[in-house]
A and B are shown apart, each in its own frame.
Chain A
């Protein structure tokens, strides 16, 4: 695949925070998204995710739900209940394929739900779709 840089309307590429306690997955997605031209930040647990989200205010967070300490659901709830971070799109990503997980994630405030295994290009596709939808909605205001 050809390396292309995608930028937002402001010229700045969108910032994606990848939250996953399994470093290989986290770094794989980070590498691929960076390769695809996105700005990427990483967090290995819930606390770090909340810190980085509050500090960086990313456009989108890829949130693994099973996390040590504050888990993905709780982190999402806190982010979505904070006015400063409420607008951040959150994509839940989990290896748990059971129905209860997606339902719980949506209830916690996630904007999308993707199950592992999820190939990097498919993740990128989903992120772009979400960002495009969000931009449309925002511009439509």
Chain B
């Protein structure tokens, strides 16, 4: 912007020289806002009005104020310039001195010869050098340098004037242009800076010492700035954040040094907690006053990550401890297993084994050469077994028998080996675990079992044979039994028939004998009668034998009926005594009976009791020469039995004969020349009859002192 007062001042002082031309130049100057254009017009004006032959106008550029480069030339080929510049930094250069000086200088051709630095594209001719300066601010760097040749001294005033206004104009243009450029640059830089700041993901802000926000990036605004139309929640969160932030800043102000502080803010949008690390540093600025730059680094995720890392680490430690525990436990378990356990790695090397396995696969100093050999052999056998599993492909398990040797004892150790592959998640074999089970005992057991089985089989065979034999014997016995029964039945029938056949002739014998004795056929002589009595006696004896035989056959045939009646025992005993009275009369014996008064009525087969007692009494009388025969009845309450005892003082019965006298056709003396008569069937029948009555006959005897036969029968029939 041109101030007219300045122009008027300029015009008033120089208007007298060539007022019109000067005005035109001034107007042109004012119309041009380009330094180069102004320089070109100035050279043209000088050529027209001041006889300029040739000239170069050097001006500083925007890019480099320290270098003056040709802005416009006149009367020269452009090629003649040839990169001509004046470096203002080169303070010893005569042209630089002119440029910084306020006065123009004129250099002759001679000057040029003496100082080659003065040689310009104008050629080796004399020229004038005029500095171009702003009107005010002479301390500023020179705006340019005007080199002219051919301007006469008479036009020196015009030349100076042109240099003056051109310098002013160039300086002015340079300064306004520089300002605009600077402002533009500044704005660009500022925008760039903002972009940079905004690009920073952390909130960055500048505050004054009172905590008021001067500059804030978008992230910071998100946390610390709110607008009227924001939600209540957001505004409250922002207010809270501001409070927290100011408080933190106040602390940092006290600290008076780069300050780190953890600051927990609220995410106004999400409502979640955000943890920041606040870095704040005071900045001093003379013009703007002191402030504080703060950078908030979001460490929420970092904290989370840290926490996670810590947590994971803890977990890892726990897991590690757990694994160690598991491992210890596993070791304990493996070691506590009595069976050897071996873990083999995929290379076939033993990775782990328990104590029992060590016995087999490690060399111990106490074992000798044989032990070493055993360990090598065991190792070979075992490796061969396990390697098969590696080669078997898909099979996860392998079971087999290995013949190992106990290195300590040298004894063979047959084992059953069970190997299992342990596969990783990726299906690779990580290890093979093998358990070896001692089969010695099992084999021994098997052997014993087989022995036992063999023995058992033999036994079974024998039992089978014996059973077969038994079956045959049983069959034989059964047949024999049937035959015997048939024989027995035949015998009974035979005896019955025999008895009948005996009776028929006997009936005639007895009948005729009785008739003769009765005198049916006339009187008999005493001798005839005595002999006939003997016939009669023997015939009767024969009849009694036949009757006994008949009784036995009846009993055996089960055809002896029982007739149970109730009667007085004392009455029966009196009857018995009466019946044997004729026999007693023939002896010298004292015979008496003792009846137990406690016994009243008994219920049994009266006839059979009578038969038994008569038989016993008859025997007693028969076998007793001297002394007495006693009939004693008594009652045995405990068993509710009656005992009828016949005690004699006879010959007695030897112990060896006591069992046999009850047998059929037996007497103690069975010799043909025996002293006592009788078929020997009496006791046999008595025994059978007593048994039928549910009782028995017992015998107490002493040879030479006598015998006591006792019939024991229930007082009344027992229910079976």
Interface residues of A (CB under 8 A from B): 1, 22, 24-25, 28-29, 31-32, 35, 66, 94-100, 116-121
The interface-forming segment of B153-161, B264-272, B362-370, B513-521 is: B513-521
Given contacts A35-B520, A116-B503, contact A98 B510 (CB under 8 A): no
Check if B559 is an interface residue, CB within 8 A of chain A. yes
- Interchain CB contact under 8 A, A29 and B511: yes
- Interchain CB contact under 8 A, A32 and B507: no
Q: Which of B518, B547, B559 has the most CB of A within 10 A?
A: B518
Interface size class of B (residues with CB under 8 A): 20 to 34
Given contacts A32-B520, A95-B503, A96-B500, contact A22 B514 (CB under 8 A): no
Check if B496 is an interface residue, CB within 8 A of chain A. yes
- Interchain CB contact under 8 A, A32 and B500: no
- Interchain CB contact under 8 A, A28 and B515: yes
Nearest-CB distance from B638 to chain A (Å)?
Answer: 36
The answer for the CA separation of A117 and B503 in the assembled complex, in Å, is 6
- Interchain CB contact under 8 A, B511 and A32: yes
Check if B673 is an interface residue, CB within 8 A of chain A. no
- Interchain CB contact under 8 A, B512 and A99: no
- Interchain CB contact under 8 A, A95 and B514: no
The answer for the CA separation of A31 and B515 in the assembled complex, in Å, is 9
Given contacts A1-B519, A99-B561, contact A119 B503 (CB under 8 A): no
**Interface members, chain B 500-534 (any A CB < 8 Å):** 500-501, 503-508, 510-512, 514-515, 518-520
The answer for the CA separation of A1 and B524 in the assembled complex, in Å, is 12
Q: Which residue of B lies closest to A26 (CB)?
A: B508
Contacting residue for A117 out of B496, B511, B550, B559, CB 8 A? B511
- Complex contacts, A121 vs chain B, CB 8 Å: 514, 518
- Interchain CB contact under 8 A, B507 and A25: yes
Interface residues of B (CB under 8 A from A): 496, 499-501, 503-508, 510-512, 514-515, 518-520, 543, 547, 550, 554, 559, 561
- Interchain CB contact under 8 A, A99 and B507: no
- Chosen A-B contacts, 11 in total, with CB atoms closer than 8 Å, are A25-B504, A25-B511, A31-B520, A35-B515, A95-B499, A95-B500, A98-B496, A116-B507, A117-B507, A118-B507, A119-B511
Q: Which residue of A lies closest to B540 (CB)?
A: A117
Given contacts A1-B520, A98-B554, contact A117 B515 (CB under 8 A): no
- Interchain CB contact under 8 A, A117 and B520: no
- Interchain CB contact under 8 A, A95 and B511: no
Contacting residue for B510 out of A1, A29, A95, A117, CB 8 A? A117
Given contacts A22-B508, A35-B520, A98-B559, contact A120 B554 (CB under 8 A): no
The 8 closest A-B pairs by CB, nearest first: A95-B503, A117-B507, A95-B500, A24-B508, A116-B507, A28-B511, A1-B518, A119-B514
The answer for the CA separation of A88 and B94 in the assembled complex, in Å, is 213
- Interchain CB contact under 8 A, B507 and A95: yes
Dominant secondary structure at the B interface: helix
- Interchain CB contact under 8 A, A97 and B508: no
Contacting residue for B559 out of A29, A32, A66, A99, CB 8 A? A99
Nearest-CB distance from B473 to chain A (Å)?
Answer: 37
Nearest-CB distance from B475 to chain A (Å)?
Answer: 34
Q: Which of A22, A31, A120, A121 has the most CB of B within 10 A?
A: A120
Q: Which residue of B lies closest to A115 (CB)?
A: B503
Given contacts A1-B519, A28-B511, A35-B520, contact A117 B506 (CB under 8 A): yes
The answer for the CA separation of A98 and B520 in the assembled complex, in Å, is 32
- Interchain CB contact under 8 A, B514 and A120: yes
- Complex contacts, A25 vs chain B, CB 8 Å: 504, 507-508, 511
| Additional A-B contacts beyond A97-B499, A97-B550 (10; CB < 8 A) | A24-B505, A24-B512, A28-B512, A31-B515, A32-B520, A35-B520, A95-B500, A98-B554, A117-B507, A120-B514
The answer for the CA separation of A24 and B511 in the assembled complex, in Å, is 10
- Complex contacts, A118 vs chain B, CB 8 Å: 507, 511
- Complex contacts, A119 vs chain B, CB 8 Å: 510-511, 514
Contacting residue for A66 out of B500, B510, B547, B550, CB 8 A? B500
Q: Which of B496, B499, B515, B554 has the most CB of A within 10 A?
A: B515
- Complex contacts, A22 vs chain B, CB 8 Å: 504, 508
Nearest-CB distance from B295 to chain A (Å)?
Answer: 144
Nearest-CB distance from A102 to chain B (Å)?
Answer: 12
The answer for the CA separation of A121 and B519 in the assembled complex, in Å, is 12
The answer for the CA separation of A94 and B543 in the assembled complex, in Å, is 15
The answer for the CA separation of A24 and B506 in the assembled complex, in Å, is 11
Nearest-CB distance from A16 to chain B (Å)?
Answer: 16
- Complex contacts, B554 vs chain A, CB 8 Å: 98
Given contacts A25-B508, A98-B554, A98-B559, contact A117 B500 (CB under 8 A): no
Q: Which residue of B lies closest to A96 (CB)?
A: B500
The answer for the CA separation of A111 and B74 in the assembled complex, in Å, is 206
The answer for the CA separation of A13 and B550 in the assembled complex, in Å, is 39
- Complex contacts, A95 vs chain B, CB 8 Å: 499-501, 503-504, 507
- Complex contacts, B507 vs chain A, CB 8 Å: 25, 95, 116-118
Q: Which of B500, B507, B518, B554 has the most CB of A within 10 A?
A: B507
Q: Which of B496, B501, B514 has the most CB of A within 10 A?
A: B514
- Complex contacts, A94 vs chain B, CB 8 Å: 500
- Complex contacts, B501 vs chain A, CB 8 Å: 95
Nearest-CB distance from B510 to chain A (Å)?
Answer: 5
Q: Which residue of A lies closest to B543 (CB)?
A: A117
Contacting residue for A120 out of B506, B515, B543, B550, CB 8 A? B515
The answer for the CA separation of A119 and B518 in the assembled complex, in Å, is 11
Nearest-CB distance from B316 to chain A (Å)?
Answer: 114
Q: Which residue of B lies closest to A93 (CB)?
A: B507
Nearest-CB distance from B9 to chain A (Å)?
Answer: 196
Q: Which residue of A lies closest to B496 (CB)?
A: A98
The answer for the CA separation of A98 and B505 in the assembled complex, in Å, is 18
The answer for the CA separation of A104 and B515 in the assembled complex, in Å, is 31
The answer for the CA separation of A24 and B503 in the assembled complex, in Å, is 13
- Complex contacts, B505 vs chain A, CB 8 Å: 24
- Interchain CB contact under 8 A, A116 and B561: no
- Interchain CB contact under 8 A, B511 and A120: yes
Given contacts A97-B499, A116-B503, contact A32 B508 (CB under 8 A): no
The answer for the CA separation of A98 and B506 in the assembled complex, in Å, is 17
- Complex contacts, B550 vs chain A, CB 8 Å: 97
Q: Which residue of B lies closest to A24 (CB)?
A: B508
The answer for the CA separation of A80 and B506 in the assembled complex, in Å, is 31
Q: Which residue of A lies closest to B547 (CB)?
A: A97
Q: Which of B506, B510, B550 has the most CB of A within 10 A?
A: B510
- Complex contacts, A98 vs chain B, CB 8 Å: 496, 554, 559
The answer for the CA separation of A100 and B559 in the assembled complex, in Å, is 9
- Complex contacts, A35 vs chain B, CB 8 Å: 515, 520
- Complex contacts, A1 vs chain B, CB 8 Å: 518-520
The answer for the CA separation of A11 and B514 in the assembled complex, in Å, is 29
The answer for the CA separation of A117 and B543 in the assembled complex, in Å, is 8
The answer for the CA separation of A100 and B496 in the assembled complex, in Å, is 12
Q: Which of B506, B512, B554 has the most CB of A within 10 A?
A: B512
The answer for the CA separation of A1 and B550 in the assembled complex, in Å, is 33
Nearest-CB distance from B337 to chain A (Å)?
Answer: 89
Q: Which residue of A lies closest to B514 (CB)?
A: A119
The answer for the CA separation of A96 and B550 in the assembled complex, in Å, is 10
Q: Which residue of B lies closest to A21 (CB)?
A: B504
Nearest-CB distance from A126 to chain B (Å)?
Answer: 14
